[in-house]
Structure 1
Amino acid sequence: MKNNKALWRICPQLILSLIAIFSLKVWAENPSSQVLYMTGSQPTFAAGSDHFTGEVSVELLFPSNDTAKYSGAYVTFQAGSRTAWHSHPAGQHIVVLTGTAVTGTRDGEVMQVSPGETIWCPPGVDHWHGATKKGPMKHLVVTGSKDGNNVVWKEHVTDGQYQK
């Protein structure tokens, strides 16, 4: 009798495990199935000082795959934080969610972007983006990938370039 109770306690876990294995097998055999990326299932990390100035966090939302050569992430910049100069071999869309974004290009153009507005950064265009000095900013980025590469990092943005 005690063994039966123990079996019934692990049975739900066993069933869930079998369902998960079966679902993965079905998806592998039928790539037209939808894939759910559960909240928190992708990595979140503090962006490094090699490519960012200030406090920046990145929350990956979905990776690129064999069919869709783009990935998505939320990036949160604290006041005064920004990226280094960089470009994207396949371009990048930026959708400002909260706060005000600031972005600049090598030709000296600097724009302020409000929540709900979207920026398209074409392939190969050097640019930077971040928050204003007055407050934090969060944006959604959808970044294309070409030949397995989605970003080419360059030097840091100077204070003078940022303050424009």
Structure 2
Amino acid sequence: MKTYNTIIILITGISLYSCNQNSSKEESTLIFQKGVKIENNNFTGNAYLEMLINSDSINRNSVGSVTFEPGARTNWHSHPNGQIIVAIDGEGYYQEKGSPKRILKKGDAVKCPANIPHWHGASENSEFIQIAITSRVSGPTEWLDAVNDKEYKSDE
């Protein structure tokens, strides 16, 4: 019986240590905080924003880290001065109106052209974290229709 109790204690200890190691490893791989949940109708699914730099009268660029849970995405939208997206973790999608959907992985960067409707978000099975750099010189983002499931799942 003493051996059995020792084995149970050992397995429990190893399990707790492993859980703590995985949790620490996951937390240490995040570059920025997850941010606050985005609570508006311009996204499908759960997405979080950590604003890193707000635009001002001198530097008119805003920079934010956006975390999309699997399946989450923006609506179609456009920016009067374009946008730059840098993938920093997970797998995501990017699509411009009339073009095929692109798969984005850590290290990929996209230059979204000015006034071109596009959307971006996570793949179906992976969280996606991006840095969005958006110029605020000529006005705000123009939000359009939601990306429906058929558009989201299509390869075209």
**Normalising to structure 2: TM-score of the pair?**
0.74
Determine the structure 2 residue equivalent to 1:153: 143
Q: Percent identity?
A: 30
Coordinate RMSD, CA, aligned:
1.5
- Paired residues in the alignment total 122
Q: Does the CA-based 8 Å contact 1:143-1:150 persist in structure 2?
A: no
Structure whose CA Rg is larger: 1
- 5+ residue gaps, structure 2: 1-31
Determine the structure 2 residue equivalent to 1:99: 90
Give the Cα separation in 2 of the matches to 1:51 and 1:156.
Answer: 7
Q: Which secondary structure state, in structure 2, belongs to the residue aligned with residue 99 of structure 1?
A: strand
**Normalising to structure 1: TM-score of the pair?**
0.70
Choose 77-86 or 149-158, whichever is displaced more: 149-158
Q: Cα deviation per residue 1:51-100 (whole Å; 9 max; x = unaligned)?
A: 00000000100111122111000000000000000000111100000001
Give the Cα separation in 1 of the matches to 2:80 and 2:43.
Answer: 19
Q: Does the CA-based 8 Å contact 2:77-2:142 persist in structure 1?
A: yes
Q: Report how far residue 122 of structure 1 moved.
A: 1.0
Q: Report how far residue 49 of structure 1 moved.
A: 4.2
Poorly superposed stretches of 4+, deviation over 2 Å: none
- 5+ residue gaps, structure 1: 1-38
Q: Which secondary structure state, in structure 2, belongs to the residue aligned with residue 133 of structure 1?
A: coil
Give the Cα separation in 2 of the matches to 1:65 and 1:87.
Answer: 21
Q: Report how far residue 139 of structure 1 moved.
A: 0.5
Q: Report how far residue 102 of structure 1 moved.
A: 0.3
